Structure 1
Amino acid sequence: MADTARQVLGILGSRAACLMLSLVTSAVIAQSLQPEGRGVYYMAVTVATTATMLGHLSGEQAQSALWTGTERREALAGNSVPLALTLGTLSGLAGTAFVAVVGPETLNLPGQYLVVMACLSVPFGIASNYAANIALLRGRVDVANWSMLAGALAQCAAVAALAAGGRLSVGAAVIVWVAAGCVPLVVFTAAGAAAGRRRDLKLARTTLTTGARYHLGPASVYLLMNADIYLLSALTGAREVGIYSLAVGLAGYSRMLADVVSQVMLKRQFNSSDTESADVTARITRYAVLLATGSALVLTLAAPLLVSAVYGAAYAEAVPLVLLLAPGVMALGASRLPSTYLLRSRRARTVVVPSVIALTVNMALNLLLIPLWGAAGCALASSLAYVLLAALQTRLFTRMTGVPARELLPTAADLLTLLASARRCVPDKRAAV
């Protein structure tokens, strides 16, 4: 536990820096563009992000599932970036075509040009995702986190400079977002963290077919997290999207600790036997539950002050939305490791079925509640669906492994162990004297 805690705390510094940079970037954009302009910006970015997440064909999940065969690893790494850039180009074109068909005005966008600009990021976004997963599977967590930090720093610096000069428009914010999205790939390439000594066309096809088997699951999870934005935009307007997207972003910050733990444990989950991986997953999940719960409580208490002090009175309506989203986001963070373990089975239904069920429930609840309560109905529907997804994935994990559900719930001893491990990782000032 102490070694894991040292790894977690070792990367929290870069994650904390990313968080602060993200808060600054978000605040500058929010104050410069105001809720309606932020809603337009976020809608354009969401279209590009949707193209990225739907177009990657679950290559990361396929890489993880195939990584257990040691003879494939070099070729998986060598294939990662070329395969991603190809898929990304096709996905970016599909995203722009989708908006052209439904009409930009349907999504409260001023024109097609914003979507075209945003979708330039898609090939690089997919390539960064593939490269990051290879780096994590190799245990190169440091490079993965430095890549995120570099991208966050580039975006924050550019946005702040444009705002200081009074030139931060919606279009400029989108261009900066696209440019910053290319930075992580540059970092991975420079560090060689995802490089492979050979490429294998046959393995590339296997990666695609394996990923396609899983893809409905991750695609459903992404749509679960983002389809509400499309519905909210179509049923209300850009202002509501601007406020709700801010609440979603703030709620997402509370998953940082659980996500860090998941990244650190990825190598152990896929590089060990089924029994050892199940044991590690159950044991570390107890600590993830503690971290997710603590983060949600901090977020709930801090949200009123954070929104008023950083974003201003125009975004006051985001506070109750954060509180509605917090339970669902906490559940997703707590169940992150069991959901990752399901990939080991290489049975697509264990990944797909829970996600499709949760997405279906989410869409139905959003269509019912948005006309009644607007963004608040959207937040409530999404939070309930997140909890449902976490429950379904955890149930599958316990059935697959035979681990009792109670083994995933933290005890007082787990809390004491977590605190003791954290204390041991903090440098002793007296020893340094």
Structure 2
Amino acid sequence: MADRRPQFVWMLVARAGTLVMGVLASIVVARALPPEGRGTYYMAVTVATAALSLGHLSVEQAQTALWSDKGHRPRLDSNSVPLGLGVGSAAAVVAIALGLLFRGQANMPDIRLLVTACAGVPLGMGVLYATNITLLRDRTHVAGWAMLTSAVVQCLCLIALGVTGLLTVWTVVAVWAASYAVSLAVLTVANGVTVGRPDLRLARVTCAKGLRFHAGSAAAYLLLRSDVFLLNALAGSREVGIYTLAVTLAELSRLAVDVFAQVTLSLQFDADAGDSAEVTARIVRYMVLLGVASALATVVAVSAVLTPLYGHAYAGASTLVAWLVPGVVLLSAGRPLSSFLLRMRTSRVVVLPSLTALVVNVALNALLIPAWGAVGCAIASTVAYTSLIAFQVVYFSRMSGLGWRCLLPTSTEATRFTTEVRRRCRGLHLGRAT
């Protein structure tokens, strides 16, 4: 495997900075808004995110599948932003129409808040498609800058609004929507993606191919967010406010794992199918090691700092984080498996695992939320995420001819990893001492 340490370090710094900005922003919001207010804000953002995730037509997966053909690459690049803005606009209109239809039901946000959130959908769709092309072009530094700059601007805006007493549910949503414009500007100006005249024929081909995968993508999104909708309907906005904070904190455990997946994505497409399977297995092994270390560090850190930072109203989020982290880490560690299955261009092996996991998630949430509230929601999510990864491992083994054990770190790799972690920690300790 090529040396990806420089890209990994930079993306790790960018993601860490983004998460720090996110944590600061969430503290500002939590201090300014009660759990009910955070729950209302999060529901508006969740509806817009649903429009983004259900309406993207899986174009980014089609981009990934088509990237193996080098002749398509320049046109996939120039198509990404215009296609994202067009598809995103259509998705936003549908989301607003559905918001009007279900206005006043199931604790849904009011229409003004919903329209504000949906204004970010076209921009977010452009960012989604453009970021995928940027990573496939192996320009990870640009993707990192786009992510970090957007987070810094969003956090500074929220702090300014908080200091001036203008921080409300609506202004938080407006800042969230506008932050996508910052990411898109960086991606285009820094040449992460090229904005050119779109190739309409390839755009149709890309959308058509994406639709073959879209049932799986939609199910994967609903797997991640259906719990929020069910919790909101069955337990109310206060439980949603606490649970969504726990989700935000649990996702800190994805930092190193997601970065490793991003900087190694292009490696999975630089080799033929047989070599790609070996590369994928090796990537997953390292991600498992990173995931275990990240999970332990996240649970310990959150337990120590949650109440002092967020206040006693959010104290229950600590238990939820402990239940969520294992599933979150497993889901992240499985990303290379999903990319490998996409390369095979067989929609069934991408769609079926997500659909099955979604059914498991909805059924368990409906069963556990009435009895255990947000804790039941967290348990259901982790079980569902685990079932998704189990399916992907089975399909990977069948299609690659490699046994599932090849995805588990060897004792040598584990020893090398722990030795490196200890060396880094010792270096940090000595640095502080001097």
Q: TM-score range by the shorter chain?
A: over 0.9
Q: How does 1:94-243 map to 2 (within 5 A)?
A: 94-109=94-109, 111-195=110-194, 199-243=198-242
**How many Å separate the matches in 2 of 1:420 and 1:323?**
26
TM-score, with structure 1 as normaliser: 0.95
Matching residue of 1:393: 392
Aligned-pair identity in percent equals 47
Q: Which amino acid aligns with 1:86?
A: G
Residue 74 (structure 1) aligns with: 74
- Give the AA of the match of 2:3: D
Cα separation, 2, equivalents of 1:213 and 1:92: 22
1:269-325 alpha-carbon deviations (Å, 9 max, x no partner) = 123210111111001111100001111111121222221121111100111111111
**Conserved in 1, the CA contact under 8 Å of 2:60 and 2:132?**
yes
TM-score by length of 2: 0.95
1:26-85 CA-to-partner distances (Å, cap 9, x unmatched) read 111111112110000000000001100111111110001001111111111111111111
Structure 2 Cα separation of the partners of residues 220 and 84 of structure 1: 20
Confirm whether residue 407 of structure 1 aligns to residue 406 of structure 2.
Answer: yes
Partner of residue 295, structure 1: 294
Q: How many residues align?
A: 428
Following superposition, the deviation at residue 4 of structure 1 comes to 2.5
- How far apart, CA to CA, are the structure 2 residues paired with 1:248 and 1:26? 12
1:353 Cα offset (Å): 0.1
Deviation (angstroms), 1:10: 2.8
Query: Is the Cα contact below 8 Å between 1:74 and 1:198 reproduced in 2?
Result: no
Distance 1:6 1:415 in 2: 22
Contact 1:32 1:163 (8 Å CA) reproduced = yes
Instruction: Give the match's secondary structure for 2:362.
Output: helix
Does the C-alpha gap of structure 1 residues 276 and 421 become closer, same or farther in structure 2, counting only changes over 3 Å?
farther
How many angstroms does 1:19 deviate by? 1.3
CA distance in 1, matches of 2:274, 2:263: 19
CA distance in 2, matches of 1:290, 1:117: 41
Please state whether the residue corresponding to 2:264 is helix, strand or coil.
helix
8 Å CA contact 1:285, 1:337 repeated in 2: yes
- SS of the equivalent of 1:255 reads helix
**Correspondence for 1:84:** 84
Partner Cα distance (1:36, 1:197) in 2: 45
CA distance in 2, matches of 1:219, 1:350: 15
- The aligned amino acid for 1:404 is G
SS at match of 2:68: coil
Amino acid at match of 1:79: N
CA contact (8 A) 1:104 1:112 kept: no
Give the distance between the partners of 1:197 and 1:90, measured in 2 at CA: 21
How big is the shift at 1:234?
Answer: 0.9
Equivalent position of 1:337 in the other structure: 336
Structure 2 residues not aligned, in runs of 5+: none
Query: What secondary structure does 2:33 align onto?
Result: helix
* Contact 1:108/1:234, CA 8 A, preserved across alignment: no
Does 2:7 match 1:7? yes
Residue number in structure 1 paired with 2:248: 249
2:64 corresponding residue in structure 1: 64
| In structure 2, distance between residues paired with 1:107 and 1:339 | 35
2:79–2:196 Cα contact (<8 Å) kept: no
Paired position in structure 2 for 1:372: 371
Q: Is the 8 A contact 2:51 2:121 kept in 1?
A: yes
Per-residue deviation, 1:113: 0.7
Conserved? CA contact 2:81–2:195, under 8 Å: no
Asked if structure 1 preserves the Cα contact closer than 8 Å seen for 2:188 and 2:195, the reply is no
Listed as ranges, the matches of 1:8-27 within 5 Å are: 8-27=8-27
- Report the CA distance between 1:108 and its aligned residue: 4.3
CA distance in 2, matches of 1:9, 1:191: 19
Matched-pair contact (CA < 8 Å) for 1:233–1:240: yes
> How many Å separate the matches in 1 of 2:76 and 2:87?
16
Q: Is the 8 A contact 2:96 2:114 kept in 1?
A: yes
Amino acid at match of 1:271: D
CA separation in 1, counterparts of 2:68 and 2:270? 6
Determine helix, strand or coil for the equivalent of 2:138. coil
1:62-111 deviation digits (Å, cap 9, x = unpaired): 001001111111111111111111110010011111121122442342x2
List structure 1 runs of 4+ shifted beyond 6 angstroms: 420-424, 426-430
Judge conservation of contact 1:108–1:237 (CA < 8 Å) in 2.
Answer: no
RMSD: 1.9
Alignment partners' CA distance in 1, 2:189 and 2:412: 43
Can you give the 5+ residue segments of structure 1 that lack an aligned partner in the other structure? none
Task: Decide whether the 8 Å contact of 2:78 with 2:194 is kept in 1.
Answer: yes
